[in-house]
Structure 1
């Protein structure tokens, strides 16, 4: 019996970066593996047509790096996929670049990689919080410019401060446990309290306004979707403590950027730590010009260790699906 076809939709120049041996031992044991070779979106859509090189593909490994060639998995692309496609397995915890509704309408199941990104992204969040509080990035720029401590102002200690986590999922929990090492108090807001209760000390805030009013640092750890897009804006900044800090390792689109800039310029916020931006890779010049904030170029999972864990989790989902066991990490929207 012929094997199912799996398309590795990654960077066409590099393919799957970290897990070639695992690809061979896991995927090729159950499937015929085809690597993306289309150079642009137009040729990809053509190659998906009946008789094209991707005709017959059942499962797609989707890496964000493929966007440089074929773009996001939006409705146009999803609708053009071969009729044989049953699974899109996305490499990433966030999957806003995949149109889940379009996939659902076509009967295509979607998975992502929760858990694998928790440690690396939490590390970035902690760094951003500490750098924003202590202004370490400004100090480093001073050293590199030969100014040493010239012009530096005393910053703030993290110890004893309160952290409010909006979206206490895997990343939020990992961050919370690391914040506790600094003797910080943890508040969190989800749609409902975590059950069973976390194994570490934290307090649930049913009303997000209560969290904002008490927190010295507010960390955004929620997904980007139609409900959350631009949801953190002027009303939320107005309710934050004067001189507080915002950390965003989620998605740039969840924040009203104009309101953020206003809060920073007015001094409402002491600082911010941002790893994500609404129009990546473009960054608002006003943010770049601000010396009191820490900016990173979406470094959340830019480690070899985490990227390999994510790839292996994608492979696990594909193998499970092809064996008739379903997707272990199917996205929540399709599990309702």
Structure 2
């Protein structure tokens, strides 16, 4: 019997790739469920998704059926063995619930590195040079705002990277070209990092030397609010925070307080705790730069992500195991 693969979400750029990767080895079907209850019913024995062994999933599906929380994971058919998530972050999937049922989860590391890092670089440049308020001033017919006294060149400044994985490393390479001093903290020293990346085992010691802190850690239970009041206040007065990871990693209230009292000069955000909602208090600060989660919003990266997720399904079907198993699954 030909294995069945269910596409949950949208394949926008890699439809031909899907046929090349899976067309000869699987029956590929696309979910058409308009809501969560319908989706659950169609997963049942005798339903249109009966017998699926793999799922391709992207975050657009949450608009119709919600996230893959424990409730949904527990009603997935027993035939399902692999969920190939399209995205580096996978906080919309309860991976521990999947692990308990023997369902592997993969993500798409590497495919997002360039796009996410260049987004962080844009936020870094914009906040240091106050380009966001300058553009808005021009569009309002006011020419230049008075930003020169509080703007800075990047050359010679210190960029602290929290989490030197693929995205953090790519940002380090880009920022080093200015040149900036690059320092970082991760759970473990990155053995592949160049010598100009200075590792700090003590995160607070690193923060004390940072002009800019850029956040690149995954969202897990232990990283919610990781960058809180204490760490923010360890940064020198006038520092900047950049976040392209996940909004809940930073204590938003503590960050806003630091903006209000001037401890932080600016912030550059692409992510927020309750997307798509944005805290209206953030809009009161004219010098900060805000983006609507645009990190991977370009067709080149989107296609790479789709292809990588599909490739994980292909490898699972042909070898029994994909390459990009998420950290929590390594011992399955």
TM-score, reference length from structure 1: 0.97
Q: Which residue of 2 aligns with 1:86?
A: 81
Structure 2: how far apart are the matches of 1:36 and 1:56?
14
Aligned to 2:5: 6
1:127 equivalent to 2:122? Answer yes
Q: Pairwise mapping of residues 7-22 of structure 1 onto structure 2 (< 5 A)?
A: 7-10=6-9, 15-22=10-17
SS at match of 2:132: helix
On the 8 A contact 1:161/1:185 being kept in 2, the answer is yes
Equivalent residue in structure 1 for 2:177, among 154, 178, 181: 181
Task: Tell me what 1:192 maps to.
Answer: 188
**Counterpart of 1:34 in 2: which secondary structure?**
strand
| Structure 2 equivalent of residue 227 of structure 1 | 222
CA distances 1:80-127 after superposition (whole Å, capped 9, x unpaired): 111111001100000000000000011100000000000000000000
Q: What is the rounded CA distance, in whole Å, between the counterparts of 1:308 and 1:127 in structure 2?
A: 22
Q: Distance in 2 between matches of 1:303 and 1:256?
A: 29
| SS of residue paired to 2:6 | strand
Report Cα offsets for 1:243-267 as digits up to 9, x if no partner: 0000000000101100000011110
The aligned residue for residue 254 of structure 2 is 259
Q: Which residue of 2 aligns with 1:289?
A: 284
Matched, 1:207 2:206: no
Shift, 1:40, TM fit = 0.7
CA distance in 1, matches of 2:78, 2:145: 64
* Structure 2: gaps spanning 5 or more residues: none
- In structure 2, C-alpha distance between the alignment counterparts of 1:90 and 1:186, rounded to whole Å: 31
- Deviation by residue 1:21-53 (Cα, 9 ceiling, x = unmatched): 111111111100010100011100111111111
Equivalent residue of 2:222, what SS? coil
Aligned partners of 2:145, 2:320: CA distance in 1, in Å? 62
CA apart distance, 1:183: 1.0
* Residue 199 of structure 1: how far off its partner (Å): 3.1
Q: CA deviation at 1:149?
A: 1.3
In structure 1, runs of 5+ residues without a counterpart are none
Find the aligned partners of 1:162 and 1:199 in 2 and give their Cα distance. 16
* Cα distance between partner residues in 1 of 2:123 and 2:302: 21
Q: Do the aligned residues in 2 keep the contact of 1:117 with 1:306 (CA within 8 Å)?
A: yes
Question: How far apart in 2 are the matches of 1:184 and 1:59?
Answer: 44
Q: Residues of 1 paired with 2:305 and 2:166: CA distance? A: 14
Deviations 1:144-167 (A, max 9, x none): 000001444431111100000000
Contact 1:5 1:59 in 2 (8 A): yes
Deviation at 1:290, TM superposition (A): 1.3
Partners of 2:129 and 2:24 in 1: how far apart? 51
Report deviation, 1:200: 5.3
Give structure 1 regions of 4+ aligned residues with deviation exceeding 3 angstroms.
150-153
Indicate conservation of the 8 Å contact 2:315/2:321, yes or no: yes
Residues 1:29 and 2:28 are matched in the alignment: no
Report the TM-score, using the length of structure 2 for normalisation: 0.98
- Offset of 1:201 from its aligned partner? 1.3
Instruction: Check if 1:102 corresponds to 2:97.
Output: yes
Q: Check whether the contact 2:42–2:49 (CA below 8 A) recurs between aligned residues.
A: yes
Q: 1:218 aligns to what? A: 213
